Amino acid sequence: MRIDNEMKLEFMSKSQNESFARSVVAAFIAQLDPTIDELADVKTAVSEAVTNAIIHGYECQNGSIIIISRILDKTVEIEIKDCGKGIEDIELARQPLYTSKPELERSGMGFTVMETFMDEVEVESQSGVGTTVRMKKTFKSI
C-alpha cells in the first residue's frame, strides 16, 4: 500500500521523554482527523511501549529509542524500537499482569493496554540486541 506520510523520531531513553513521545505521535496522526478517543488510544499505546523500552529494554540506563510512524490511507503504523537487552520470552511478557519487575509496583498491563487500544501489535525481540514493537490502527472517523 502507498505510504502517504512518514516521520522518524529519535530520543534518549529518559522518562521525561515519555510525554514528549506520545505528544509527537499524537500531533503527527492529527492529520487523519481521529476522534478524541482514537487519539487517546494511540497516545496510551505509545506511552506503554516507550515506558517498556526505558524500564525493561534499557533498565533505566541511557540508550536511544526510535519511533517511526507511517500513514497509509486511514491507517497509522507505529514502530517503537530500542537497542536494549531484549525480551527473553515474548509470550510471557504479553500475558496480562505479568511483570519482570514486581518490586517497582508495575501493573504488568502494558502489552494488554497496547493490544486493546490498537488493532494489531507485533513484537520482535532478540536477547542483547533489542526490541521492536509494531502497532497498527485504522481510524473509523470521517
Partner 1 sequence: MNVGFDLVNNKLIIRIDGDIDHHTCEEIRSKIDNEIMKRNPKSIIFDMKNVNFMDSSGIGVIIGRYKLIMTSGGIAAMVNVKPQIKRVYEICGLKKIIPVYENEKQALESI
Strand order in the sheet with 5-12: 5-12, 64-72, 75-82, 130-138, 120-126
Binding part of the chain for partner 1, among 41-49, 82-90, 122-130, 133-141 by CB under 8 A, reads 41-49
Measured from the CB of residue 40, what is the shortest distance to partner 1 in angstroms?
A: 4
Helix (H, G, I), strand (E, B) or coil at 106: coil
Taking the C-alpha atoms of residue 10 and residue 14, their distance in angstroms, rounded to an integer, is 12
Residue 95 in contact with partner 1, rule: CB under 8 A: no
Catalytic: which of 22, 38, 48, 70? 48
Taking the C-alpha atoms of residue 88 and residue 138, their distance in angstroms, rounded to an integer, is 30
| Region 50-79 residues binding partner 1, contact defined as CB under 8 A | 51, 54-55
Residue 100 in contact with partner 1, rule: CB under 8 A: no
E strand or H helix that includes residue 96: none
| Region 107-126 residues binding partner 1, contact defined as CB under 8 A | 107-110, 112-113, 116-117
Look-up of cell digits 509494531: 134
Measured from the CB of residue 73, what is the shortest distance to partner 1 in angstroms?
A: 25
Q: How many other β-carbons are positioned within 10 Å of the β-carbon of residue 39?
A: 19
Catalytic: which of 94, 106, 115, 134? 106
Known catalytic residue: 52?
Answer: yes
Residue 47 in contact with partner 1, rule: CB under 8 A: yes
β pairing state of 120-126 and 64-72: unpaired
Interface residues with partner 1 (CB under 8 A) are 15-16, 18-19, 22, 36-37, 40-41, 43-44, 47-48, 51, 54-55, 104-110, 112-113, 116-117
